[in-house]
Amino acid sequence: MPVCSYLAYPARGAKKELAKELSALRYCEVTPSENEEILLLVTDTPDEKEEKALQDTLKNIKSLQSLGMTFGHMDE
């Protein structure tokens, strides 16, 4: 049951679009910054299979330039 948090950097000018796309995903909670081009993403998936599927989905989001992980937890 992984819980992770990330700094999500949008592609140029795509912050709003990225916030919308991430918010629409299962297991994702998004907190956009009010004054910088960055969003916080917290993911909470039920198992490794879903986690991998989510990672694959994230990789294909065009409005997302990069993710920087700031926290990760996994129940063993």
Residue ranges binding another protein (CB under 8 A): 1-7, 29, 31-36, 38, 40-42, 44, 68-74, 76
Give the nearer residue to another protein in terms of CB position, either 2 or 61.
2
Query: Tokens 């909670």 label which residue?
Result: 29
User: What does the block give as tokens for 65?
Assistant: 């330039």
Give the nearer residue to another protein in terms of CB position, either 2 or 10.
2
Q: Which residues pair with 62 in a beta bridge?
A: none
Cβ at position 45, least distance to another protein in Å: 12
Q: Which residues pair with 69 in a beta bridge?
A: 6
User: What does the block give as tokens for 58?
Assistant: 């994230």
